[in-house]
Chain A
Amino acid sequence: MKAIFIAFDEAYYDRIVEMLQLLNCRGFTGWREVQGRGSKTGEPHYATHAWPSIASAILTVVDDRRVDVVLDELHQMDLATPKLGLRAFVLPVERTI
C-alpha cells in the first residue's frame, strides 16, 4: 500500500476524483481549498487579491501496482494544461487499521 498526495489547482478536482474511480481506487481524502505554491515555477494559490486561484489536495491510499498507473494519468493531465499546476507525491504507508 502506498499513499499518494496530490496537490493541484482547484479546477482538476472533479477530474481527479473521476479518474481515481475509473482506476478502481475508491478511497480518498480531499481538501477542496488549500493554499500553497510550487517549488520552482508553480504560481501561488492563495485565494487573495493578488493570487486569486486556490489549490485543492487529495490523499489517496492505493495498492502498490496501481501507483504507476495513477501517476501516469496525473502526469498526462499536467502535461495537457501545465499552467494550472499539478503535483503528486508517493509516500509509504507503514500500517493501517
Chain B
Amino acid sequence: MSLYSSSVKRPVTTILIFVALIVLGLFSLRSLPIDLFPDVETNTIMVMTSYAGTSASDIEQNVTRPLENALNSVEHLKHITSNSRENISIVTLEFEYGYNIETLTNDVRDKLDMVSSMLPDDANTPIIFKFSSDMIPIVLLSVQATQSMPGLYKILDENVANPLARVDGVGSVSIAGAPKREIHVYLDPLRMEAYNLSVETIAALIGAENRNIPGGTFDIGNETYPLRVQGEFSDPQQMGNMVVGMSPMGGVVHLSDVARIDDSLEERAQESFNNGHKGAMIIVQKQSGANSVQISEKIAKELPKIQKNLPSDIKLGYIVDTSDNIRNTIGSLVETVLFALLFVGIVVFVFLGRWRATVIVLVTIPISLIASFIYLYATGNSLNIVSLSALSIAIGMVVDDAIVVLENVTTHIERGSAPMQAAVNGTNEVALSVMASTLTLIAVFFPLTLVKGMTGVLFKQLGWMVTIMMVLSLICALMLTPMLCSRLLRLNVGDTKIFQKVYGPILKVLNKIDDFYAKVLDKCVAHRWITTATALGVFIASMFLMKFVGTEFFPTNDNGRLGVSLELPIGSRVDLAKDVSQRIFKEWTQKYPEIQSFNYTVGQASSDNTFASMQSNGSHIISMNIMLNKSNERKRGITEIAGMMREDLKNNYPELKRAMVNVGGGRGGGMSGQNTIDFEIYGYDFTKTDSVAQRLKRILEKIPGAADINISRSDYQPEYHVDFDREKLALYGLNLSTAATALRNRINGTTASYFREDGMEYDIKVMYDPEHRRSISDIENIMLYNTMGTGVRLKEVGTVTEQFYPPTIERKDRERIITVSTVVQDRAMSEIIAEAQPLIDKMDKPADVMIQLSGSYEDQQDSFGDLIVLGLLIILLVYIVMASQFESFTYPGIIMTSIMFAFSGIVLILLLTRTNLNIMSMIGGIMLIGIVVKNGIVLIDYINLNRERGMSIRRAVINGGHSRLRPVLMTSMTTILGMVPMAVGTGVGSEMWRPMGIAVIGGLTMSTLMTLLFVPTMYTIFALTGIRRTRKKLHDKNKK
C-alpha cells in the first residue's frame, strides 16, 4: 500500500502524526535561544610570550620568529600575524572557519612544546588564548555616584561585579572609571637626604612593621595558649608614628617627618563619563558559547535587586545592551515572516478561489515551518537572522507541492471520482513529478551545507533548514494533503451569490490574463528567431550592465552602536584628553538628537580590567561608546551619522592625531560593521615601508568614499633614557640593576606592604612626592645609596637623554607589515578599489616592498569565489535531476535558460534600487537557480504531455502555455510576495536581509516573464529541428 493511500484510509493516524510534529516543534521553539547570527565558533588563537627587559626588535628576533616558524605548520592555518612589543610577543593564528578549535589548540600546544627549548631561557612559557567574538562586551552599565565616589570601586566590586559574575554564562565583569583605594607614602627627598634615609629602607621598614606574627603556643598549667604579635596598622595614619631612623643629633625620626601619608586612590586610572557626568562603567563579557540574550535577561532581572543593596546616591543604568538590538531584529524578522504568510495566503486564495482548497494548502506552511524548529533545537542552534530568513524563503515554496497535488485531485473529483478515490489516484499521478521538483530544490539548498569558510558557517543553517522544510512539505503533500482532500473536498455544487460577487471579477481577470498570454505566446512562437534574438540581447545587455553594479562584502547592520576611538599625540596629558572629549560630547549631543547615551573613557587602565587590557589604552587615548535610538525610529542611518561624525572630527578637532568612528562598535567586525579595505604593506625596512604607507594614505585620502584612513604602525614614542656609566657606578660600589631599581622605586613607587581592612587589601605604595618628580632635574638629583650607605646623585653616574622608542613590530605570514586601513562609506567597495588600484600600481615603491589587499575585501573575494563554485555545482546538480526526470539532454538545457534571465533580473534590480552585490544578494541568486527552473519544468512537462496526446508542436506549446500559466504565476507569486516583506521591511536590522529579498524578487520576476515567452519558443525551435531530422532520416532511408 502506498504512502498516500494508507494515509487516506487512516486519517486519524495521519492527523496525529502531524499534530505530534507540531507539538514537538512548538516545544523546541519555546526553548530556542535567540541570537543575531548562527554560532560562529572562534577561529583565532593567540599565543602570548613575555620576555622581560627586551626591546621590540629583540623580541621579534628571539621570540616571535621561532614561534612563527614552528606554528606556521599547524594545519588549516589561514594567516599568522604577530605583534612584537617591548617585553612581549603576541602571535595570532587565524584558522579557516569550520574546524574544531579544541583540536587546533592542542596542535598549537604540541608545536609550542617543540619550540620552547629554542626560546631564550628568561622568556616565560607561552600562554594560549582562545579568542572569539565573545570577547566583545555584551552589556555596558553606567554608574553615577556623588558622595560614594571615593569608595566606589569597593562598593561596585562587592555589590555589583560579584553578583553579576555569578550569573550563569557571564564570563567576566570589569569595572572601569572607579579608581581603587591605594595608600601612598609620599617622601620628601630633601628631608630624606638630611636624615640619610633611602626609599628602600623606608619601604623595608614599613613592610617589617606592618605584620602580624604568630608566636607559637605555650602552656599555662593545663591550658595551651597561642601567642601572637598584632603589628598591623589599623589606620594608615598610624604609619606616621613609625620610627624610621635616628637624627644625627640623636633624636628619633618618625615617618611623618620625612613623608606625607595619603590615603587616596590610584594615581593613574581610567576615568569614565556617562552622558557628561563622571561615573564608573561596568563591563560584562560573556563566556564562550553562552547566549547574549539570555544573559542580558538574567542581568536585567538581577539589577533591581542589586540596586536595592547600593547606597542611595549610586545609580545604575545601561550604556549598551547588545541584546536589545538582537531582540528587535529578530522581532522585526518574525513580523516579516508573518507578513509573508499573509501574502502567500492571499495569493493561494485568489488563484484557487475555494476556501477549503486554500486551507488544505496553507496547512502545509505551519507544519513544515514549525517542525523545522525541531532541527534547530536538536542541533543546539538558535533563532537568528539566517534561520528566520530560511523560514521566510521557504514559505513561498512549501505550498507548491501541496498545490500540485490538490489541483490534480480536484480535476479527478470534477471528472466524477469520489473524493477518497480521487485523493489516492490524483496523488498517485503526480507523486513522481512532485518528488522531482522537490529534488531540484534540494539540489540547490543541500550543497549550501557543504560550503567552507565563513560563508559556510553562515549558510549551513540556511541549507539545512530549507532542505528539511522542503522534505517536510513533500511528506505533507503526499500524506496530509490527499487525506484532507478526501475529507474536505467535494464536487462543486454551485457557488453562493456572495462568492460569485467577490470571486467573479477575479476569475474574469485571471481568464483574461490567460487569453492574453496565449495570444502573445502565439506571436512569439510565430516569430521565434526574433524572440530568441531579443531575449539573448536582453541577457547580454544586462551582463554588460553588470560592471555598474558595485560589490561589497556584507550589508552594514544598523545596530545603533558607534564606537569612537581617538588618539591625541603620544604623551599628551590626560587632562587634555578630558577637555577634548568634553567638547566633542557637547557638540555631538546637540547636533545629533539620535544619540541616546554617550559614554567615554579616558586615561590609562589598571591591569586588572580584563576588557581594557585587551584594547590599547593610555593617557592620550579616548574611547567612546555611543548608542543611537532604534534604526526605524530615526531618519538618518548609522553610516550617515558616522560619516558626519568623521567630518566633524576632521574639521573641528585638529589636535587629534588619529580618529576612528566604528559602526557596530568595533572595526572590521566581519558581519556587522562597515566594510573595510586593508592595504597590507610588506617589507622589512621600517623607513621604506613607513614612507610607502604615508604615500598610500595620501592617495586614499583623495578617493571619495574611503573614510577613516589609518596606518597601523604606532608613532615612535618619545621617552627619557637614563644612561648609566658602568665604570662610575662601579667606582661608587653600585651596579646597573641596583641603580635602575632605585630609580623605579622613586618614580613608579614600590609596594611596601598591604593595608588590610574589612577583608580587603590595599597597596601601600612608597614613592617620591609628586612635586618632586616633575622635571629632568628631579630625576638627575635622585640620590642613590650603595651598600655602605654612601649616597651619590644620579647625574654623577649617568645622564638623562631623550630618545625615541622603537614602534611595535607587526608581522603577518612571517613578514613585517604595516596596514593602511580604510572604511568604505557611501560607496561600493569595488568602486574604491577600482579607483585606488591603478594609482597604487603607478606608485613608485622600493622593490622589496609589496602591497596587498585584505580586510573585508579579502573576505569578500574568498566568499564570492566559494559562492560561484557553489553556484556552478548547483547548476550541474539541478541539470542532473532534470535530465533524469525528462530522460533527455535537450529539455533541461532549454529550461536552464531561465537561470540566465534570473541573473539579468538581479543585475537590473540591483541597478534600479542602487543596491550593492553582496553575500546576501549572492545567496538570493543561488536560491533562484532552484526556484526559476521549476517554472520551466511545469511548462515543458505539460507541453510534452500535450505532444504525447497527439497535438502538433505549435498547438502543444500554445495550449500548454495557456493552461500552465496559472500554476506558474501562482508559484512565482507566492515566492515573490513571500519575499516582499523582506525587501521593503523597515524594521530593526532589515538592512541585513533586504539585499536578499530584492535579488530574489528581481530575478524571479524577470525570469518568470522571460521563461513564459522564451522557453516555449526555444522548445518549438528544438522540437521542429528534431522532427525535421527524423523526417530527413526517413526520407534518406526511403531513397535507398
Contact = CB atoms under 8 A, between A and B. Distances in A.
A14 interface: yes
B945 A11 contact: no
B425 A83 contact: no
Interface string A67-91: 0000000000000111110000000
Contacts of B946: 50
Contacts of A83: 414-416
Interface string A13-56: 01100000000000000000000000000000000111111100
Contacts of B944: 49-50
Given A10-B425, A11-B425, A52-B429, A84 B417 contact: yes
Interface residues of A, number: 17
A14 B419 CA distance: 13
Nearest to B414: A83
Contacts of B429: 52-53
Nearest to A13: B421
B412 A11 contact: yes
A83 B949 CA distance: 17
B949 A50 contact: yes
B415 A50 contact: no
B949 A81 contact: no
B415 A81 contact: yes
B416 A81 contact: yes
A81 B415 CA distance: 7
A54 B946 CA distance: 18
A10 B417 CA distance: 9
B422 A11 contact: yes
A81 B419 CA distance: 13
A11 B417 contact: yes
B545 interface: no
Q: B415, B422, B944 — which one has the most chain A CB atoms within 10 A of its CB?
A: B415
B949 A11 contact: no
Nearest to A52: B429
Contacts of A82: 416
B232 to A, nearest CB: 97
Nearest to B944: A49
Contact of B418 (A11, A50, A51): A11
B948 interface: yes
Contacts of B949: 50-51
A26 B566 CA distance: 98
Output the residue of A52, A81, A82 with the most chain B CB within 10 A: A52
A9 B416 CA distance: 10
Given A10-B425, A11-B421, A50 B948 contact: yes
B964 to A, nearest CB: 15
Question: Which of A50, A51, A54 has most B Cβ within 10 Å?
Answer: A50
A11 B416 contact: yes
Contacts of A48: 948
Contacts of A80: 416
A84 B425 contact: no
B932 to A, nearest CB: 23
Nearest to A81: B416
Interface string B405-442: 00000001011111001100100010000000000000
B717 to A, nearest CB: 81
B419 to A, nearest CB: 10
A10 B424 CA distance: 11
A49 B19 CA distance: 35
Contacts of A84: 415-417
Interface string B939-957: 0000011101100000000
Contacts of B421: 10-11, 14
A88 B948 CA distance: 28
A50 B944 CA distance: 8
A52 to B, nearest CB: 4
Given A10-B421, A14-B421, A49 B948 contact: yes
Given A11-B412, A11-B422, A11-B425, A50 B417 contact: no
Contacts of B416: 11, 80-84
Contacts of B417: 9, 11, 81, 84
A88 to B, nearest CB: 17
A9 B429 CA distance: 14
Contacts of B948: 48-51
A40 B135 CA distance: 81
A53 to B, nearest CB: 8
Nearest to A77: B416
Nearest to B945: A50
Contact of B945 (A9, A49, A54, A81): A49
Contacts of A15: 418
Nearest to B430: A52
A22 B545 CA distance: 75
B862 to A, nearest CB: 45
Contacts of A9: 415, 417
Nearest to A54: B425
Interface in B921-946: 944-946
B536 to A, nearest CB: 31
Contacts of B945: 49-50
A10 B946 CA distance: 23
Nearest to B491: A81
A81 B421 CA distance: 14
Contacts of B425: 10-11, 53-54
A49 B416 CA distance: 21
A15 B421 CA distance: 11
A9 B718 CA distance: 99
Contacts of A52: 429
12 contacts: A9-B415, A11-B418, A11-B422, A15-B418, A49-B945, A50-B946, A52-B429, A81-B415, A81-B416, A83-B415, A84-B415, A84-B416
Interface of A: 9-11, 14-15, 48-54, 80-84
Given A11-B418, A51-B948, A54-B425, 4 more contacts: A9-B415, A10-B425, A11-B422, A50-B946
The 6 closest A-B pairs by CB, nearest first: A81-B416, A50-B948, A11-B417, A52-B429, A83-B415, A84-B416
